[in-house]
């Protein structure tokens, strides 16, 4: 019974984090509203700029991947919070991207989380 494997694990943990993220949404005014909790305001132009100067060399100019994996569907795999953590701490053979300030990191993570 090894059919699930890593993909299943990531899918599972993504769903768990997603659910946990929703229930702990500290946003009382929109609890009943129509605005989806996941959508953060993202400055796409700024995110692209941050991406180009910090990530493109390893993930490709079109997110297609190079030395690092493709990020074209990264939002289907990770939430923006998880992407922030990957940027901040690195992962596997990806080094932590310490030159981003917290705002750049958050904006970039939000932008990438929309790539599904």
**Positions in the binding site for ligand HEC (CB under 6 A):** 54-55, 57-59, 67-69, 71, 74, 77-78, 83, 86-87, 91-95, 97, 100, 108, 112
Which residue, 37 or 81, has its beta carbon nearer to ligand HEC? Answer: 81
Tell me the C-alpha distance between 95 and 51, whole Å.
Answer: 15
Q: Tell me whether residue 59 is annotated as binding.
A: yes
Compare residues 42 and 108 and give the one whose CB is closer to ligand HEC.
108
Least distance to ligand HEC, CB of residue 34, Å? 29
Listing DSSP states for 57-101 in one string gives HHH-TTS--SSSPP-TTHHHH--HHHHHHHHHH-BTTBPP-TTS-
Residue 42 CA, distance from chain mean position: 12
Q: Please, which residue, 27 or 93, has the CB nearer to ligand HEC?
A: 93
């Amino acid at each position: 019974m090894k059919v699930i494997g890593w993909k299943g694990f990531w899918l599972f943990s993504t769903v768990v984090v997603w659910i946990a993220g929703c229930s702990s949404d500290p946003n009382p005014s929109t609890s009943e509203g129509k605005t989806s909790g996941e959508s953060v305001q993202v400055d796409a132009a700024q995110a692209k700029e941050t991406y180009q100067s910090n990530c493109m060399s390893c993930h490709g100019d079109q997110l297609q991947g190079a030395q690092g994996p493709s990020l074209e569907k990264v939002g289907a795999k990770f939430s923006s919070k998880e992407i922030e953590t990957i940027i901040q701490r690195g992962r596997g053979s990806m080094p932590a991207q310490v030159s981003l300030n917290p705002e750049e990191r958050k904006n970039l993570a939000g932008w990438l989380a929309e790539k599904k």
